[in-house]
C-alpha cells in the first residue's frame, strides 16, 4: 500500500526531530561542550571567590589594618617622644646634649619591655579574656586522679567528671584539667587568695579515689580543642575535696 502524503510528512518530521535531538545531545556532551562547561564553572568559581575576598577585605581586613596602623603610629610617636626625652640631657645653659649612656640604657629597657610584652602581657591578657568568658567558680566536680606531667614547668593534670554513674565516670562526661604556674594563674592567686600559686598545691587535695571537689577553673571544654590543640581548662583552686559516702 502506497504511503499517503500526510504520513510521509509526519515521518519526515519525526526523522527531523530525531536528528535535531541527536545533534543537541552531541553538542551537549561532546568534548568541546564539556570543555566549555568546565571553563564556565571555573570562571564562575573564580569570580565568586574573588568577590568573597573583596568583601572580606572591605569589611574586615581593611578596618583591622587601619586600626593597627593608627595604634602603630601612636606607639611610634609616643616612643619617639620618650626616646628624645630620655637620651638628651639639658645643660646648665639650656642646651640639649645627646647621652650615649642613656641611649644604651633606653635600648636595653626597650628590649626588656618587648620580651615582657610577648612573654607576660600578651599571655596574661588572652588568659584574662578566656577567664572572663568561661570561669566556673565553686564548681562541683568528682575528681579521682592527678599526674605530674612536666617537672620543668610544674604542669599537673587532673581528671574527673561532673556526675557519677554507678560509682564511675561516663565516657561522655569525662573532664580533663590542667594546673600550671602561668603568669595569669599567679596574678589571680595573688589578687584573690593573697598568696602564690603552685600547681602541685592547687590539685594537692585530689586523691586516687573519686572525691567530691569544689573548685574554681576556667577554659573552654570543647573536646576537639583538647584533642587537636592540647588546650585544656585550667584549675585555679581546689577549695575542698570530701570522700563520697553513698549516692550524691
pLDDT tens digits, one per residue of 33-60: 677 777 888 888 899 999 999 999 999 8
Q: What is the mean pLDDT of the chain?
A: 84
How large is the average pLDDT for residues 92-114? 89
21 pLDDT higher than 90: no
248 pLDDT higher than 60: no
16 pLDDT higher than 80: no
133 pLDDT higher than 70: yes
Q: Which of 31-40, 76-85, 104-113, 134-143 has the lowest mean pLDDT?
A: 31-40
Percent of the chain with pLDDT over 90: 39
CA–CA separation, 38 vs 48, rounded Å?
Answer: 15
Question: Is the pLDDT higher at 135 or at 21?
Answer: 135
pLDDT tens digits, one per residue of 155-166: 888 888 888 877
The dihedral formed by the CA atoms of 134, 139, 144 and 150, expressed in degrees to the nearest 10: 40
Three-class DSSP category at 231? coil
The dihedral formed by the CA atoms of 204, 205, 209 and 212, expressed in degrees to the nearest 10: -140
Question: Is the pLDDT higher at 180 or at 230?
Answer: 180
Per-residue confidence (pLDDT) for residue 132, from 0 to 100: 93
1 pLDDT higher than 60: no
pTM tops 0.75, yes or no: no
CA–CA separation, 100 vs 112, rounded Å?
Answer: 18
Three-class DSSP category at 162? coil
Per-residue confidence (pLDDT) for residue 225, from 0 to 100: 79
How large is the average pLDDT for residues 73-80? 93
Query: pLDDT confidence of 247, banded at 50, 70, 90?
Result: very low
Contact 170, 222 (CB under 8 A): no
Question: Is the pLDDT higher at 60 or at 32?
Answer: 60
Question: Is the pLDDT higher at 34 or at 180?
Answer: 180
Residue with cell 591578657: 125
Amino acid at each position: 500500500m502506497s504511503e499517503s502524503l500526510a504520513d510521509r510528512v509526519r515521518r519526515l518530521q519525526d526523522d527531523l526531530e530525531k536528528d535535531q535531538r541527536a545533534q543537541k545531545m552531541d553538542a551537549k556532551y561532546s568534548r568541546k561542550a564539556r570543555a566549555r562547561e568546565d571553563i564556565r564553572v571555573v570562571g564562575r568559581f573564580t569570580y565568586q571567590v574573588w568577590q568573597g575576598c573583596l568583601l572580606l577585605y572591605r569589611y574586615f581586613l581593611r578596618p583591622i589594618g587601619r586600626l593597627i596602623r593608627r595604634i602603630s603610629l601612636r606607639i611610634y610617636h609616643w616612643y619617639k617622644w620618650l626616646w628624645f626625652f630620655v637620651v638628651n640631657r639639658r645643660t646648665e645653659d639650656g642646651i640639649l646634649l645627646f647621652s650615649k649612656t642613656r641611649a644604651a640604657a633606653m635600648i636595653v629597657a626597650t628590649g626588656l619591655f618587648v620580651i615582657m610584652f610577648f612573654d607576660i602581657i600578651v599571655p596574661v591578657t588572652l588568659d584574662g579574656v578566656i577567664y572572663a568568658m568561661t570561669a566556673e567558680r565553686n564548681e562541683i566536680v568528682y575528681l579521682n586522679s592527678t599526674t605530674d606531667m612536666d617537672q620543668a614547668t610544674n604542669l599537673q593534670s587532673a581528671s574527673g567528671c561532673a556526675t557519677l554513674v554507678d560509682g564511675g565516670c561516663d565516657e561522655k562526661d569525662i573532664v580533663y584539667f590542667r594546673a600550671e604556674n602561668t603568669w595569669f594563674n599567679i596574678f589571680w592567686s595573688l589578687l584573690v587568695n593573697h598568696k602564690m600559686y603552685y600547681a602541685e598545691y592547687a590539685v594537692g587535695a585530689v586523691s586516687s579515689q573519686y572525691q567530691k571537689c569544689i573548685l574554681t577553673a576556667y577554659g573552654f571544654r570543647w573536646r576537639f580543642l583538647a584533642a587537636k590543640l592540647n588546650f585544656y581548662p585550667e584549675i585555679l583552686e581546689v577549695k575542698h575535696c570530701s570522700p563520697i559516702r553513698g549516692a550524691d
